[in-house]
Chains A and B, each alone.
Chain A
Amino acid sequence: MNMIKPSQDEKERAIEYILSIGLSKPKSLWKHFYELYRALGFHYLFLNTMLPVIISVALMIGFIVLCPLPSEQFKNAVLFATAPVFFIFVVLLTEIVERSSPLYELKMTCKYTIQQITAFRVLCFSLMGSVFCTLTSLFSRFPDVLDFFRALSLSLFALFICSFLSIFLMRYFNWKWTHFTPVLLWMMIGLFPIWILRERWESFLSQLPIVITVFFTVIAFGLYLMELKKLINIQQREVAYYVGR
């Protein structure tokens, strides 16, 4: 067999490298986030994010208020479509702010890169999104507690599946405009079923057993955490913004 074998020098270097790393346990996601928080604090972690947060909250409220569908008849479908709005837009806007920042390149050469900070922010934004999902489900005033939990789990599922796919796209594709793709994703997952299926979509969502909706929410949350861990651990990533400029 024609196998490319490493030279003695390469072997020694690899052994040295393995020995230098030792048997230290790889950092967990929470350890990463704790270190980031200890080093930067909320002030630096969320520097220049106030405006994107305000705009995203306004967009979410605007979407609920201006939604052309009668909210009483389409409660589940509207909640499902609304759930990822805050997350998708806040991530998009903060990414735009970072990528257009004159400091982007410099920040990518620091110990804590903007990519790691983005991962921390994404976690916080998804937690905020969860709070908004709970509030919108509460304000929807479902007559039955089971209906409330179904709606809540559906909206959380929409949030986490969009978050998972958004991070996957951001991590996997190193395009200049990757951060815009989650908006398309939200349109496909949240809006298209309403436009195409209308009452049938609402009827489908409202008849789903709670066990199923909770199960899929847990799965989506697990996938989301796994993806977040991969995002914070990326090493081999070029600063796409600068390539080809």
Chain B
Amino acid sequence: MLVVNHVTKKYGNFTALEDITIKFTNGVYGLLAPNGSGKTTLIKMLATLLFPTSGEILWEGIEITKLGEEYRNIIGYLPQDFGYYKNQSPRQFLHYLAALKGIDRSVANRKVTELLELVSLSDVMDKKMRHFSGGMIQRVGIAQALLNDPKILILDEPTAGLDPKERVRFRNLISEISQDRIVILSTHIVSDIETIANRVIMLKDHKLYCNDSPSNICRTLEGKVYETWDIKTVTQPYFPLTQRQEDGRTLVRFVCESDCTEVARPVTPNLEDVFLYVYRDEAI
């Protein structure tokens, strides 16, 4: 079990994260928050790139900084700006990282081939990566993160820059590999985690806002989300969520704390509604 215990991170006078406590067990965790809310700081602390100003991060009861190499052996990390050597092929690149991860050469040979097949790159495994699309590079990134069969897989904004088709493919891949491990996926794109996360962690004002299942989080807005073709008829105070154009008319989805059933149709809230409502005062 990975435990983030009362962790605060400060950069000088600026508090990036304040008193965060989270327990991670096997499953997919979606770290959902707007940009600048401390997601990447938390991810980097879990990857031992940054250390808490106060509090501790424990793996099986032991502080991860004390574990050092032992902890790095069980994590797989995909950074937000995943770098690679353009002149290397995926196979060369993965072999290099396998060596850095201390994987035996014979095991690495087998693992590299397996993983490139898993991420559907076996047909281009010897081509230089300089010609690869963003999605293909991201798949190489996933493959490298899985090289050591990590118990903790940390993915920072893994779908940034991917087209919708690649995003769906990526989600399917994460679902496929999420058995028997902790997958922590940071994003501000709600659809990325709506379908695959067992739990969603939301940060607000640099503090933990909630850590719950997507359905429980959606339940917080139950009976408060409506849709209407004629928003002018709504007289109660409301917060607009989304608008959709259809046949020259506009369907408005909104949150209203009071009953609007007479003028609008109640709908089942989704994670995006909660996200937009919770972060209504912040730039998303």
Contacts and interface: CB of A to CB of B under 8 A. Distances in A.
Given A109-B75, A111-B100, A16 B61 contact: yes
A102 B83 contact: yes
A176 to B, nearest CB: 13
A17 interface: yes
A110 B101 contact: yes
Taking residues whose C-beta sits less than 8 angstroms from the other chain, chain A's interface range is 20 to 34
A101 B83 contact: yes
B44 interface: yes
A106 B75 CA distance: 11
A13 B11 contact: no
B65 A238 contact: no
A10 B81 CA distance: 38
Interface in B47-93: 47-51, 61-62, 65-66, 68-69, 72-73, 75, 77, 79, 81-85
Contact of B99 (A16, A17, A39, A235): A39
B134 interface: no
A243 interface: yes
For chain B, which range describes its interface: under 10, 10 to 19, 20 to 34, or 35 or more residues?
A: 20 to 34
A227 to B, nearest CB: 19
A105 interface: yes
Given A103-B83, A106-B83, A238 B100 contact: no
Nearest to B66: A17
B160 interface: no
A235 B100 contact: no
Contact of A39 (B66, B68, B72, B102): B102
A106 B82 contact: yes
A197 B99 CA distance: 51
B97 interface: yes
Contacts of A105: 49, 79, 83
Nearest to A17: B62
B239 interface: no
A138 B97 CA distance: 42
B79 A106 contact: yes
A102 B81 contact: yes
Contacts of A65: none
B49 A242 contact: yes
Contacts of A109: 47-49, 72, 75, 77
A47 to B, nearest CB: 7
B79 A40 contact: no
Interface in A197-245: 235-236, 238-239, 242-244
A192 interface: no
A110 B100 contact: yes
A108 B99 contact: no
Interface string A69-94: 00000000000000000000000000
Interface of A: 13, 16-17, 20, 39-41, 44, 47, 101-113, 235-236, 238-239, 242-244
Interface of B: 11, 44, 47-51, 61-62, 65-66, 68-69, 72-73, 75, 77, 79, 81-85, 96-97, 99-102, 144, 148
